[in-house]
Structure 1
Amino acid sequence: MKISRLFDRFFTGIAPEAAYARACHLLERGEHARGFAMLGQMARDGMPQAQFRVAQAYLDGTGTPLSVSEGARWLQHAAEAGHAQSCFTLGVLMLLDIPCADDPAAAVLPGANGPGAAPARDPVTATRWVGRAAEEGMVEAQALYGYLLANGPEEVRDGAAAQHWSSMAAGAGCAQGYLGLGLARLETDAAAAMTALRHAAQEGLGSACYVLGMLHESGRGGEVDLVAAARMYAIAAEQDIRPACARYGMALLRGRGVARDIMRAETWLRRAGLRGDLEAALVVGDLHARGLAEMASDHEAVSWYRRAAMGGHADGCRMMALMCMAGRGIPAPDPHAAAHWLRQAAACGDDAALTDLAAILSRNAEPPAPDDDARAGTEQRALADGFAHAARNGDPVGAFNYAKCLLDGFGRTPDPAQAARWMHEAARAGVVNAQYWYGRMLLRGQGIPADPATARQWIDDAARSGMADAQVAAAQMRITGLGGPRDHAGALSLYHLAARQDHVDAMFSLGAMYGGGHDVPPDRQQAQQWFEKAAGRDNALAQLMMGRYLGRGLAGVTDIAAARAWLHRAQAQGVTQAGEELARLPPDPVGAEGMHAAR
């Protein structure tokens, strides 16, 4: 054995305090193994401060392999002996989620999860240990104890005691104490809370800056001050306070209290999202999906939406479903994946997702596996049962969905009479879709005697609410005089409203109305513009009309090549008149047809 080792053992045996100082000195100058060996002997002999340093060594992996469970074991020995720092550290350890199985040693703390496990997270027991450290006069413990008494588990909360301990820590100049005092006073005296929080913020405490920012933004404790709020969020965000990163990002995105800067907004929202803020992740996804991000990408949008969805955010699940249905950010549209994400959205509390899921399943957009028909049928019945339950409990949206199930035979035997009953219930409650569908059922006499006049009233109600399909239906009834007087001017106005919502049939109808033959002044140039918009969205009749207009020069412009291209597209969709129009066109110069494209 080396002389230095013998000296260490001799020193430990005759002068424990001096030996402890020597061991700490060895650790500080990098002789970790020697320092740890000396501390280990003193810890086994029952010296609390040595037990604490041994625990630190295990927790840091200094002079010995890292071991949370061994660190916790020695912390508990020292804490039970009244060592304040050990009480505090053990309490903090029990507030955290520590990964298990860090070493092969057996855990000895109550509630531990087996060999190598860290102490189980236990905020109640943690509060008690921190309280013991606070009673020993440890300022940091007093600050944390005050916070836990104000915001911890219900069984340890004590508002008066929280203010007492936070005041003790604040009186000692502890920034965390001022933070705790501010938080403890928030519900009873917002102005006093702000005063305490300002002290903590002046010491550079990011959490205090974040809470101050929220108070400035909401006006609690004073007036709304968006500039001060943004400034506080910025300081807290620079210290990596996750919710502050999100709020500062939103302030930059909206230009609230700070100049609008989408690029910087994305940077801070991305940082918050990467640290687990689901709402921030969703907003980053939106920025990419809407093309507002600096390097917008549907692939990036899907990545961020998936992050929010996997964290249980209902809107993230819904956006994943929309991206999957549209085939954005993925190789191709995937209704099966869309249905999966809608199920997840419903599980996260988005009741409206069930409606969308039912629509996908009823359109057979989610093809079942060859041996999966029974599962699909079971799922449809379960959805219909859920809608029926909601309808019977007075939910008007549930009544509409249940009516659609009964009308379409989705998870139920078709029953138009019952469908009409529930559709009427939903329509009377103001569900716009139900007003439109009940009007259609009255027009057709589905499950209820036909009544065009009443049908027109219900469809008009839905049209006034802004539903494009209802606006088109109401316009058509005015043109034909079904259920009421003819009103071509009113129809034209309704078609314009629907066309602004990109309703293709409305665009075609506007072209037809402006083309002549209606009680509105003809305007063939405007007619051609509307036909072109509808044709570009694959409306076959609009493509036919574009062929006629360009082939005959009806709006003042003749373009035979473009006319021929539009007519070929209409013909490919089964419009027989397109062939007749093609036959009337003059012969096309050799090769010219391949050199022109429909506009």
Structure 2
Amino acid sequence: MDGQYYFEKGNTHLFGRNGTKIDPMIAVYYFKKAMTFNHIKSEGVLGFCYEFGLGVEKDFVAAEKYYLSAALKSNDGLSMARLAFLRKYGRPFVKIDRVEAEEWSEKVKLNKKSIDWIIQAATVDNDSSCQYALGVCYHDGVGMEKDEMEAYRWYKSSADQGNPRGQGILGYCYGEGFGVEKDELEAMRWYRLAAAQGETVAIYNVGYCFEDGIGVEKNLIEAVKWYTISAEQGNAFAQNSLGYCFEDGIGVDQDFKLATFWYKKSAHQGYPWAECNLGYCYQNGIGVEKDDQLGAYWYKKAALQGHARAQHNLGFCCQNGIGVEKDEKEAVKWYRRSAERGNIFAYHSLGYCYQNGIGVDVNEQEAVFWYYLSAEENHAPAQLSLGYCYRNGIGVPKNEREAVKWFRQSAEQGNALAQNSLGFCYEEGLGVVKDCPKAVYWYHKSARQNNPWAQCNLGFCYANGIGVEQNNTKACHWYKQAAAQNHARALDKLALHMQNGLGIEKNLDMAFQLFLRAAEQDHVAAQYHLANCYEKGWGSTVDLRQATIWFERAAMAGCRSSHERLRRLLVRACLVSPGSLPAMSDDDLMCSGFICGHSAPAA
């Protein structure tokens, strides 16, 4: 007698072959006996027994150990097929690694007889666990071509025999319309049957159905209850979902520390969504101390498993040197990988890189291509970027109507920058019929989202009665909002109102300080007004040297009024001593339309 003899004896008792009574415990005894003869197939089958609780207590960690041993020793087909599954989906305390899962799946393809043991047991012996496993092979294309209908057929055979994993995955088929017509009520029925037998994935899916109202009335508290049951049993999917509930306060009180607690549990089991979420928490200090390096570390863990959002986030870290060394070419590499998986954020980021030459040569046509892909998927920032391209003729012929179309789509999704840009188009009649009340409407939308350009533009509208009744008090209110964000144009406008006591108490000292802040940001109008203050001693002591410096800076930037004022100041300086310079008339203080005109907002 040898290992093969005991292996066959084990199969006979496991499946009740040749009229033998099914007895999994005796089968396990024979498989272990066969292993003493170094019989590798017995080791793989023993792993299967531990995975499904056949003759032994269910133990996923022990199953993994036996599978790995058999697969590494002799490329045992059964072991490699099950490792492909466990590494892709995980099970409590068995780590997910989707790169390794793909490697095992590829190795199975090299051995045509890899899953013969599963096929025989499923088809001839009618074993429910093997029927489920065969369904997985058809589902994922492991050892055979993918076939949704065949996967469903074998799942159904398993479920009809009461197998909890067959029941759980059958619920998935009905819930997703996989191999069968979608039926959410039927999905929930099968999930509940599997959950009642303690199947942790099914328990998680019951929670998911309650969260989204799939086949049952939406109930967030119930969702959290089911997620908790599954998470506490070690299910990585449920742990991640429970973390998300705590992060956003879904069905529970918001608790960032508990959110990261559950994300960590899931991430340490290799679940890529949790790895990405944990990276985000570290990057933004949510429930943990902010740590950019750990943020990038967890993004990379998920990115290497093909998680599209993590790949994009890692690219952003590389582009900006957040937690990793700045490397724009590496950023583009990760953006591309994410884009290949259909991530619309990555489409937009690639477009930005091509437009601005970040990690690639500037290619405006390529930028528009990526912006368009993202914009077509209704990504508001990409719609805004595409609108700018059409408005300014970047990579496409200039087309203001087309620009307005994309600005509008982005603005209607609540994008504050797009709302401001759309308002400006209505104010100036760019691509649309000029309509100042509509301009004010969109400026208001954007300003309420704290966009400083829109706040400043809205202030200007109130100051000048554009689309609204003229109101200096309201103008100052909005200028203040933008000035609080150090917006140069708003600082200058607010200072002018303070200087003249329009809608706000007159305060020359404060006006001077605001002009100075704006002027130091190279705002030309503020430089002109600051020079004016130095010359006249408004809010400061008279300082003709400083007046000359600021008039000159403004003149160099193209301000004709500053050029003229500088010329006159220098002429007088040659004729009289600085201390005896005459006061200038109010007309001299007027600035040109170039200075006080309503310039276009920056993007």
Judge same fold: TM > 0.5, yes or no.
yes
**Residues 127, 494 of structure 1: CA spacing in aligned structure 2 closer, same or farther, 3 A cutoff?**
farther
Aligned counterpart for 1:282 among listed residues 259, 276, 292: 276
What CA distance in whole angstroms lies between the structure 2 residues aligned with 1:212 and 1:389? 35
What CA distance in whole angstroms lies between the structure 1 residues aligned with 2:478 and 2:234? 53
1:517 aligns with 2:517: no
1:488 aligns with 2:461: no
Listed as ranges, the matches of 1:344-423 within 5 Å are 344-351=337-344, 357-359=350-352, 362=355, 366=358, 376-377=361-362, 379-384=363-368, 404-405=388-389, 410-411=394-395, 418-423=398-403
CA contact (8 A) 2:285 2:291 kept: yes
What CA distance in whole angstroms lies between the structure 1 residues aligned with 2:421 and 2:203? 54
What CA distance in whole angstroms lies between the structure 2 residues aligned with 1:227 and 1:390? 35
Q: Give the corresponding residue for 2:574.
A: none
Aligned-pair distance for 1:393? 13
Gaps of 5+ in 2: 14-27, 48-62, 89-102, 556-561, 563-568, 570-577, 580-603
Q: Give the corresponding residue for 1:141.
A: 130
**Residues 280, 55 of structure 1: CA spacing in aligned structure 2 closer, same or farther, 3 A cutoff?**
closer
Aligned to 1:210, what secondary structure does the other structure show?
helix
Aligned-pair distance for 1:263? 2.0
Q: Give the corresponding residue for 2:94.
A: none
Aligned-pair distance for 1:236? 2.0
Aligned counterpart for 1:463 among listed residues 433, 440, 443: 443
Q: Give the corresponding residue for 1:232.
A: 226
Q: Give the corresponding residue for 2:208.
A: 214
Aligned counterpart for 1:296 among listed residues 274, 290, 299: 290
Gaps of 5+ in 1: 1-7, 41-50, 76-88, 99-112, 369-375, 585-599
What CA distance in whole angstroms lies between the structure 1 residues aligned with 2:464 and 2:4? 106
What CA distance in whole angstroms lies between the structure 2 residues aligned with 1:53 and 1:394? 52
1:504 aligns with 2:491: no
Aligned-pair distance for 1:167? 2.5
Q: Give the corresponding residue for 1:85.
A: none
**Residues 184, 458 of structure 1: CA spacing in aligned structure 2 closer, same or farther, 3 A cutoff?**
closer
CA contact (8 A) 1:252 1:260 kept: yes
What CA distance in whole angstroms lies between the structure 2 residues aligned with 1:336 and 1:94? 33
Q: Give the corresponding residue for 2:150.
A: 157
Q: Give the corresponding residue for 1:268.
A: 262
CA contact (8 A) 1:305 1:317 kept: yes
Q: Give the corresponding residue for 1:36.
A: 37
**Residues 510, 320 of structure 1: CA spacing in aligned structure 2 closer, same or farther, 3 A cutoff?**
farther
Q: Give the corresponding residue for 1:81.
A: none
Aligned-pair distance for 1:36? 1.0
Q: State the AA in 2 paired with 1:204.
A: G
What CA distance in whole angstroms lies between the structure 2 residues aligned with 1:95 and 1:122? 17
Identity %: 18
Q: State the AA in 1 paired with 2:37.
A: F
**Residues 224, 531 of structure 1: CA spacing in aligned structure 2 closer, same or farther, 3 A cutoff?**
same
Q: Give the corresponding residue for 1:120.
A: 109
Listed as ranges, the matches of 1:53-132 within 5 Å are 70=74, 72=76, 92=82, 118-120=107-109, 126=115, 129-130=118-119, 132=121
CA contact (8 A) 1:342 1:357 kept: yes
Aligned to 2:37, what secondary structure does the other structure show?
helix
**Residues 300, 507 of structure 1: CA spacing in aligned structure 2 closer, same or farther, 3 A cutoff?**
farther
What CA distance in whole angstroms lies between the structure 2 residues aligned with 1:224 and 1:143? 30
The structure whose RCO (Cα within 8 Å, separation 6+) is larger is: 2
What CA distance in whole angstroms lies between the structure 1 residues aligned with 2:4 and 2:317? 69
**Residues 179, 523 of structure 1: CA spacing in aligned structure 2 closer, same or farther, 3 A cutoff?**
same
What CA distance in whole angstroms lies between the structure 2 residues aligned with 1:257 and 1:389? 36
Aligned-pair distance for 1:265? 1.6
What CA distance in whole angstroms lies between the structure 1 residues aligned with 2:210 and 2:237? 15
What CA distance in whole angstroms lies between the structure 1 residues aligned with 2:42 and 2:223? 42
Count of residue pairs brought into register by the alignment? 490
Aligned-pair distance for 1:233? 1.8
Aligned counterpart for 1:166 among listed residues 159, 162, 172: 159
Larger Rg: 1
Q: TM-score, normalised by structure 2?
A: 0.58
Q: Give the corresponding residue for 1:373.
A: none
Q: Deviations over 1:226-275 (max 9, x none)?
A: 33322322232234322112111112223334454322321321343354
Aligned-pair distance for 1:520? 0.4
Aligned-pair distance for 1:287? 1.8
Aligned-pair distance for 1:214? 1.6
What CA distance in whole angstroms lies between the structure 2 residues aligned with 1:154 and 1:489? 70
Q: State the AA in 2 paired with 1:515.
A: M
Q: TM-score, normalised by structure 1?
A: 0.59
**Residues 330, 69 of structure 1: CA spacing in aligned structure 2 closer, same or farther, 3 A cutoff?**
closer
Aligned-pair distance for 1:176? 3.5
**Residues 340, 497 of structure 1: CA spacing in aligned structure 2 closer, same or farther, 3 A cutoff?**
farther
RMSD: 6.3
Q: Deviations over 1:376-426 (max 9, x none)?
A: 25x3333346668999999999887566446656446xx6xx444543554
What CA distance in whole angstroms lies between the structure 2 residues aligned with 1:67 and 1:291? 42
Q: Give the corresponding residue for 1:254.
A: 248
**Residues 517, 330 of structure 1: CA spacing in aligned structure 2 closer, same or farther, 3 A cutoff?**
farther
What CA distance in whole angstroms lies between the structure 1 residues aligned with 2:42 and 2:427? 83
**Residues 145, 518 of structure 1: CA spacing in aligned structure 2 closer, same or farther, 3 A cutoff?**
same
Q: State the AA in 2 paired with 1:141.
A: C
CA contact (8 A) 1:262 1:293 kept: yes
